[in-house]
Structure 1
């Protein structure tokens, strides 16, 4: 298959966990599967009303029909229109969903946010608000919304109407997400964690959501033998709650250094808070090679964010056999950390965190045991396993059959071929291509064929109602084909199928899928007769 991962590119650009997932996923599909994948990004400035609206509109207008399958993970990329669109959701715009007016425990202040809830009142907004009030909105409603927003953009309206963040843009985002993520537009849903899968208003009601923990793209992660310091790596923002760690470590006795990598808005505040504790060192930005080494030489990795989507820091630490200390409300982190087994889970208070940190520092042998368990916990989370699971329920969409102009519905004929047909360049290809094309006047025809090893899976619409679906050979088939050729001195790709049809699980799965709705099967050659006998008792030509 030709697969597209479609994502926003943040303006200004930052290389965060989402961006690392994008790069790692495309590389993994291209390396670990027979498919080919590309990454397509559109710049989005999401810190302003009109920048966010423009981002949603640009993705809604993006044509990706030249791909067989599209995967989106973040807003506003899921606004694209595609017949085979799958969502692997990282998170929605959290400030307009689960974090709107939130006051999580352990954050400084603790008072509810003062984000306004009431929509602005202005006569010019009546048309817009009427659109936003439509129930069960669809793509037509989306087009109406963008048109009305375009009209309002050129009026000289009070600035407070388009305040960001604010209730109007929040309502617009909810409206658009409802359309983009509708089950009318999405084939399947997955999430990066149970935490994300269970969040209110993240997915349409009643749809099944698979949880798939993805690996990290950070290189050089391996168990280390040193225990020279505590280490954490994080964006220095309020939601990461580094201030809790600084305050807690002040209560931990001893001289063990605590190294903190990362940059962010809280950098100056945290440095001032830790000024009287020389054990705490802020490293700023750390390149990947150094980051891996810092994990390997640490005693443990404390990471206590509020309701984290997933937390790659957790996975990276555990890949280096380091226990992770986190909090009970840290979201996705707690899905990997088991208290007293692979790390520790504190309540989000300074006292609780300090007690468990002291336990890790004062008992390095126990910390090492927890680290070994942590490594075993995350060992199965690899790119090959992840891509296999992600694409497990993903296949090429069934080609929409050309509507018949008669009152009688069109039938479907499935033709099996041991070689690819399109483009038709020589004898057998030309014969199959032209012969079965003549049947498309009365039937929809699908040619299910075997392609070359390591070639991509493809669905090629050769004419209206005429499709070749090509599945690549697997290694066992290619080896047998070469063995037979060495013995006979001639090409044996056809003969190989007689005995090695069952080795190609993907081919057999697709075959059975087509057989569930076909009327007749044509064997272009007899070599696939045994494969067909296993799963079909209908008409055969």
Structure 2
């Protein structure tokens, strides 16, 4: 079958969605499908730029393709007679993030018009779909709540789960992945100022903007945490990621209402690392259970510090939590055979 996987492209930004798209293409090719990966550009610095990106997607025609599998906004706006979205998330700023500090879109008549335009375009695109899959129960609920469409949850498997290994539970807490306000690495740095333990923090990943890195640097300087927080503000290779996770005491992942369980969560647990998260982390809480596979804090520096101190207090407890986390991931039975069969059937 001739298949196109459609994903959104923001220059110089790479995260879990990009990794998923690359792996999906590779897995489809392994099974004999002629597959291309098409990246639909998204410029989102202004309402006009977003509207232009939507227009580019909505006018992209691919009549020679037998199946298109779009993953995110605005890729799923591409018209096709056999469109099967595997929805990772919509443009959340005009849905559940509207009216929050993460809204980004301006509260102006232009911003409100954009919001209504995206809602209408999404409804039209999902009506065109032959079937809709979502990557988690959280995404399924959002789609049903905001747009009224049903979907089937199809969890994303990891690309190479066997590569994650358990080493010694070291003396640092690891926060790995794209650095952004929505992932709250700055809050985690603030928590270190309240922690009474000697546990260090390593933050590794590309900053979404220079300002996000500056926020963390300001926290470090304000609380004189230079000896306790290490910044690696760049893209981290798979090899580096595996090494960093395998030597950590635990992994911290604090997204705001995450769309899925999060690659970081599952990767840490496969390496038998407990995960520190927050009670508003969304899909992450499918795997992170307080005192069972990690710790769940309130989204405050003080509450996070209490959990950090618990992780620091006992390597044996960290190992116990890590073992249970690995069991929970394995119980999900994540399978690319199942994903490909559902998307192409």
Partner of 2:253: 303
2:160 counterpart of 1:211:
no
Asked if the contact 1:69/1:85 (under 8 Å) is kept, the reply is yes
Q: What count of residue pairs does the alignment treat as equivalent?
A: 336
Offset at residue 200 of structure 1 (A): 5.9
1:159-187 superposed Cα distances (whole Å, 9 cap, x missing partner): xx5xxxx11222222221121112xx111
1:297-335 per-residue CA deviation (whole Å, 9 max, x = no partner) reads: 101012122112222211221121101011111111111
Structure 1 residue aligned with 2:290: 339
- Note if 1:388 corresponds to 2:334: no
* 1:269 aligned onto 2:195: no
Structure 2 counterpart of 1:173:
118
For residue 202 of structure 2, the aligned residue among 233, 237, 259 is 259
Alpha carbons of 1:174 and 1:260: their partners in 2 closer, same or farther (altered >3 Å)?
same
Which aligned pairs between 1:238-249 and structure 2 lie closer than 5 A?
A: 238-249=181-192
Q: 1:194 aligns with which of 110, 124, 137?
A: 137
TM-score by length of 2: 0.88
Partner Cα separation in structure 1 for residue 83 and residue 331 of structure 2: 27
Q: Give the aligned CA root-mean-square deviation in angstroms.
A: 2.4
Choose from 82, 86, 110 the match for 1:88.
86
Q: Quote the offset at 1:203 in angstroms.
A: 6.2
Secondary structure of residue in 1 paired with 2:317: helix
Q: Distance in 2 between the 1:84 and 1:315 partners?
A: 32
> CA 1:236 to 1:13, structure 2 compared with 1: closer, same or farther past 3 Å?
closer
In structure 2, the residue matched to 1:527 is: none
Which of 1 and 2 has greater Rg?
1
Answer yes or no: is the 8 Å Cα contact 1:9–1:42 preserved in 2: yes
Structure-1 separation of matches of 2:13 and 2:323: 33
Q: Distance in 1 between matches of 2:332 and 2:26?
A: 16
Label 1:338 to 1:371 Cα distance change in 2 as closer, same or farther (>3 A): same
Deviations 1:131-171 (A, max 9, x none): xxxxxxxxxxxxxxxxxxxxxxxxxxxxxx5xxxx112222
Distance verdict in 2 for CA 1:252–1:190, change over 3 Å: same
Question: Displacement of 1:87 after TM fit?
Answer: 1.1
Tell me, yes or no, if the aligned pair for 1:92 and 1:202 is still in contact at 8 Å. Answer: no
Deviation at 1:382, TM superposition (A): 7.2
Distance 1:192 1:200, change over 3 A: closer
Counterpart residue number, 1:284: 233
What's 2:17 paired with? 18
Structure 2 counterparts to residues 138-537 of structure 1, below 5 A:
161=110, 166-182=111-127, 185-199=128-142, 204-205=147-148, 207-217=149-159, 220-264=163-207, 265-275=211-221, 276-277=224-225, 278-285=227-234, 286-310=236-260, 311-379=262-330, 385-392=335-342, 394-395=344-345
User: Could you give the per-residue CA deviations for residues 496-540 of structure 1, whole angstroms, max 9, x where no partner exists?
Assistant: xxxxxxxxxxxxxxxxxxxxxxxxxxxxxxxxxxxxxxxxxxxxx
* 1:25–1:387 CA contact under 8 A, matched in 2: no
Q: 2:160 and 2:205 mapped to 1: Cα distance?
A: 15
> Which structure 2 segments of 5+ residues have no match?
none
Does the 8 Å CA contact 1:215/1:381 hold for their aligned counterparts?
no
**What are the superposed Cα offsets for residues 436-461 of structure 1, whole Å, 9 maximum, x if unpaired?**
xxxxxxxxxxxxxxxxxxxxxxxxxx
Partner SS state of residue 237, structure 1:
coil
Unpaired stretches in structure 1, ≥5 consecutive residues:
105-111, 120-160, 396-541
Higher RCO (CA 8 Å, separation ≥ 6 residues): 2
